[in-house]
Structure 1
Amino acid sequence: MSTTEYAIAAPKTRRPPAKKPRISRKMHQALEAYITGTAKTQVEAAAKAGISSEHFCRALKIRPPAAGCTAGRGSATSGVAARDDP
Structure 2
Amino acid sequence: MDAQDLEKLVTQRMPFGKHEGVLLADLPGNYLNWFAREGFPRGEIGRLLALMQTIDHNGLRDLLRPLRPQGRGPR
TM-score (norm 2): 0.36
Q: Which has the higher helix share?
A: 2
TM-score (norm 1): 0.34
Which is higher, the Rg of structure 1 or of structure 2?
Answer: 1
